Amino acid sequence: MDLDVPGFVAHFKQLDKSARRTAYHQIIDQLDPYEWRDVRKRINERSFQKDILGILPLEIAVQIIKYLSLNDAHLLRRVSKRWYDVLSSRSACSVLLRLYIGVSFTSLGDDFKSTLIHYSRRRRRLEHGNPLAEFRINLPFTTGQEILSLDYSDGRYAWLTDGDTTIVVYNLCTQKTQRFCARNRERLEKLRISEYIVAALSTRGYCHAWVLQTESAHTIRLPNTNISFFVVSGFRVAICFKSLCLESGEGNAVIHYDLQSGRTHTLQDIQDQAFVGLSSSPEYLTTIYLGKQCDSEGMSQWQPRLHIVNYILHQNGDASPRRSCTLELILPQCCQWLDVGIEYGLQDDCKNSMAILYARPALRTSAHEHILPITYDPKTENICVHTLLAHQIARPLCITAVDKDILYWIRNDDGKRSIWISNPDAETPLYASRNMNLGLPRDPSYGASLFNDTYRTLTGNYRFVSMINATGTRVWSFEDSSQPGNIPVSSLPSREG
């Protein structure tokens, strides 16, 4: 009988689809129980999955990778050797580096893989609020107002002192202090600091800026003092003016100053800006304004939209739109007929580091009022909208963007304050930090004393995050202290996972 098996199998292969189905159905009906167990075992051993990524050409596989999160990409490297080779290739690493830090392997040489690994580890710590170290420092503030004037950039704190006539810059890594003041000791306001310059507007209508490395000074005469937005990045300054006299008449304008090249660019006849972002590339600038159609009572008739325009700044002083897009705000389902607008006061509190909108329901129920921080990443030019419940935000607003699409903020739960994280790309967009205890009492009973919420601020970036009040400065470090320019401090117990 066994001699007929090859012939039987050969004949079965020649049958059409319908006949094959009839044949194997009838064979299955003839099976004994022990034969069924054997069939089930064979079925369990058979894989019905196909390694799509493994069989694709590298060029196509890389196109899939740009839709993966950084964590997913690293987890998938463990699937097989082929997947490890694909996800560790120069092309794949270049895609991930461009998505998250705006550079590719071509600018890193052969060090691209270690750069990606180092960034991935730090990013994971930031996503979980799991710093490597925590320590305290005492910045020499003399009044609470000095705390409110404070700005931060890349390990440096800057604040106003001596009756707002002097700027103090403290470098966290070198522990050195610099002091700056205008030649005639003008009273300063609206202080900003970047990795290269510190700048402030004076009450007499000037913008004073100093290069941190050389301490050389720059002074700019402002066309008016009706200013809605003031931001610095690198060696660049951008200021939004309202009711400015232009060639076409009175209107809003953005003036961009490049202190390194000495060039000035003016963007005329623009809408009331919610945000101005300065790219890490000195020739680009991005504006965001809120577009909405309102009825006679000021309520939005349809979903408000963000209009985003990216400009290229030419060497002759002209500026032209490079690209533009419209982003519809996805607002909470519980709120219809929203009143949406710009929170100018809160934007000024966070030193114009992000746009902040409010979204209020028609009935103005406080439990449904939302705050919408909009972050801009200068390296990738990515824009991200966060959604927070207004009544859960501690006052004054303590909020800071620490990395692409990641926001830290102090949440108030019936008097208990803690650092929470907003990460819209995560499965749970809002969650508590894992290992960042503020150490604050639940119900301060000291009135206007040192614990007064009026004098508290949260600052930071991907390296350090700080909570500053009149009792001191608590600093969390997310950067390996062995990296150049970091502080050698004792590490916290590792809680990564």
Tens-digit pLDDT profile for the chain (497 aa)? 455 788 888 888 888 888 888 888 888 888 888 888 888 888 887 766 666 666 778 788 888 888 888 888 888 888 888 888 888 888 888 888 888 888 765 566 667 778 888 889 999 999 999 999 999 998 988 788 899 999 999 999 999 999 999 999 999 999 999 999 998 889 999 999 999 999 999 999 999 999 999 999 999 999 988 999 999 999 999 999 987 776 666 778 899 999 999 999 999 878 888 899 999 999 999 999 988 656 555 555 567 889 999 999 999 989 999 999 999 887 776 655 568 889 999 999 999 999 999 988 766 656 678 999 999 999 999 999 999 998 888 888 899 999 999 999 999 888 788 999 999 989 899 999 999 988 777 655 434 334 445 688 999 999 999 999 888 899 999 987 655 555 655 544 444 54
Same domain, 179 and 294: yes
CATH number of the domain enclosing 472: 2.130.10
Do residue 158 and residue 75 come from a single domain?
A: no
pLDDT of residue 137: 92
- Give the model's pLDDT for residue 446: 39
Whether the Cβ atoms of residue 465 and residue 128 lie closer than 8 Å to each other: no
R_g of the chain, CA atoms, integer Å: 29
Residue 156 lies in a domain: yes
185 inside domain: yes
Question: Which CATH number goes with the domain that contains 69?
Answer: 1.20.1280
The pLDDT, as a whole number, for residue 95 is 87
Q: Same domain for 171 and 268?
A: yes
148 with 189, same domain: the answer is yes
How confident is the model at residue 257, as a pLDDT?
A: 96
Q: Is 358 helix (H, G, I), strand (E, B) or coil?
A: strand
pTM of structure: 0.83
Residue that has been written with the tokens 């002091």 in this structure: 179
Q: Which residues contact 253 (CB under 8 A, 6 or more apart)?
A: 240, 241, 244, 246, 266, 267, 268, 269, 270
Classify each residue of 113-141 as buried b or exposed e, where b means 16 or more C-beta atoms within 10 Å of its C-beta: eebbeebbebbbbbbbbbbbbbeeeebeb
Residue 47 in domain: no
Does residue 486 lie in a domain region?
A: no
Number of H helices, E strands in the chain: 11, 29
Distances (CA, A) of 372 to 10, 174, 347, 462: 68, 36, 11, 21
Are both 216 and 323 inside the same structural domain?
Answer: yes
CB atoms inside a 10 Å sphere around CB 89: 17
One domain, residues 164 and 61:
no
The answer to whether the CB of 422 falls within 8 A of the CB of 385 is no
What pLDDT, on a 0 to 100 scale, did the predictor assign at position 493?
46
Provide the pLDDT for residue 7.
80
Are 226 and 107 in a shared domain? Answer: no
Q: How far is CA 318 from CA 10, 156, 196, 221, in A?
A: 78, 33, 25, 20
Cα–Cα distance for residue pair 270/253, rounded to 1 Å: 6
Q: Is residue 180 part of a domain?
A: yes
The last residue of one of the domains, among 112, 128, 144, is 128
Distance of CA 482 to the CA centre of its chain: 25
Structural domains of the chain, count: 3
In the prediction, which pLDDT does 495 show?
Answer: 46
Q: Does the residue 485 lie in any domain?
A: no
Q: Does residue 195 share a domain with residue 57?
A: no
On whether residue 490 sits in a domain, the answer given is no
Q: Is 254 found in the same domain as 124?
A: no
Q: Which helix (H) or strand (E) holds 240?
A: strand 236-246
* Domain membership flag for residue 497: no
Same domain? For 170 and 24 the reply is no
* Residue 113 to residue 94: CA distance in whole angstroms: 9
pLDDT value for 449:
39
Instruction: Give yes or no: residues 152 and 115 share one domain.
Output: no
Domain range spanning residue 16?
2-42
Q: Check whether residue 89 and residue 113 sit in a common domain.
A: yes
